[in-house]
Amino acid sequence: MIFHQLFEPESCSYTYLLGCEQSGETVLIDPVLETVERDLEVLQAMDRKLTCVLDTHIHADHLTGAHKLKALTECAIAGPALDNLPCRDIGVREGETFRVGSVEIHPLFTPGHTDTHHAYLFHAGAVDWLFSGDALLIDACGRTDFQSGDAAVLYRSIRDKFFTLEGDTLVYPAHDYEGRFVSTVAQEKARNPRLKEGTSEEDFVALMDSLKFPHPKKMDYAVPGNEKCGLCPDNAPQRSQELCDMHDQG
């Protein structure tokens, strides 16, 4: 199996590349519009074929690279079936294995950050890998104050789905703002300041309700754009419109 963790600095987003060594087929989890060219260069250098892109949820802080990657490579677009997006080719569901060559990804329905959020579990031999999306971050978790968020639901998703996994399961989040790359389930259970052992659902909900963050600066165009798999809406700024434009590709 081929693996790369890729970073987009403006939104502090991680994109994950998983590839089948035998077939050359590859999936990108949570691609970002701004780094589409970088991702394609990585794939070309590795002589990999992009089979599909797979989003964890409808992002509010950046435009997904899904639409542009499909236009440039003819890859499929996948994501939670519950989103019911006509632009997606494949809808993933908990209990149904998602395969890319020999790579088997197990979707986990983990609402709370959004009501259709899914994480992806990969059995990598002795240690499992969890691509936790925005639900569980390193020493933090996703916001619940907009876009169908619900703190009580997120608490149960993390407790019932993530914290029941083996402690050495590697946690690869969709974002990190402190330069960190990976955590483990045991580490998050022990020291996550929002969710560590002993934190009640009531305490967690109160904490999340007390957080007063500004809405993501791209939210007004990122959400409607991502509901069309990264197709730029009319209210996107000029820079995003230029990145969405296919005519600048040789």
pLDDT tens profile 144-188: 999 999 999 999 999 999 999 999 999 999 999 999 999 999 999
Contacts of 168 (CB under 8 A, 6+ apart): 127, 184, 185, 186
Give kind and range of the element (H or E) at residue 8: strand 2-8
Residues belonging to the chain = 250
Query: What's the number of domains the chain is made of?
Result: 1
Position 161 in a domain: yes
pLDDT digits (tens, 9 = 90+) for 13-40: 999 999 999 999 999 999 999 999 999 9
Position 90 in a domain: yes
Position 46 in a domain: yes
Q: Are 179 and 137 in contact (CB under 8 A)?
A: no
Give kind and range of the element (H or E) at residue 209: helix 201-210
Res 247: pLDDT: 54
Position 249 in a domain: no
pLDDT digits (tens, 9 = 90+) for 200-247: 999 999 999 999 889 899 999 999 999 999 999 999 999 999 999 875
Position 234 in a domain: yes
Position 250 in a domain: no
CATH of residue 165: 3.60.15.10
Give kind and range of the element (H or E) at residue 70: helix 66-73
Q: What Rg do the C-alpha atoms of the chain give, in angstroms?
A: 17
**pTM summary value:** 0.96
| CA angle in degrees (0–180, nearest 5) for 27-33-34 | 120
Position 247 in a domain: no
Query: How far from 151 is each of 34, 70, 86, 223, CA to CA, in Å?
Result: 30, 34, 29, 20
Domain extent for 223: 2-241
Position 24 in a domain: yes
